[in-house]
Amino acid sequence: MFKRRNPRNLPIETLVSARTHVEGDVTFAGGLQIEGRVTGNVLAQQGEPSRLVLGGQALVEGSVVADVVEVHGTVRGGILAPVRVVLSATAHVEGGLQYGSIEMAAGALIDGRLVKLENAGT
């Protein structure tokens, strides 16, 4: 049988560079790394494993939805990560955070509500 890939180990297939500013929603499948700025929502395709990495200079002004979300930059909007969210010491989240599991380094900033999802994916 076919095995579904673990979103925690998905390779990064697409990069939005630090010198790029995207206006509008971004929809993706697989692994996406953002180093630049997105003014809009960043949404993983439903039914596909997904991993989103926001670099230290990244800024997302909108909601973020992916199985696994790693934040090293800034999100001004909510985050939905049913499998896992990782917040580094440089992470700044201005909005609610819904997660399956969470890893947060000292120095990470959250201005919003934290909600643990029941029966989240593994």
What pLDDT score does 1 carry?
A: 39
Domain boundaries along the sequence of the chain: 12-96
Which residue has 């199985």 as its token pair?
A: 67
Q: Where are the alpha helices (DSSP H) in the chain?
A: none
pLDDT in tens, the chain (122 residues): 334 567 777 889 999 999 999 999 999 999 999 999 999 999 999 999 999 999 999 999 999 999 999 999 999 999 999 999 999 999 999 999 999 999 999 999 999 999 999 876 55
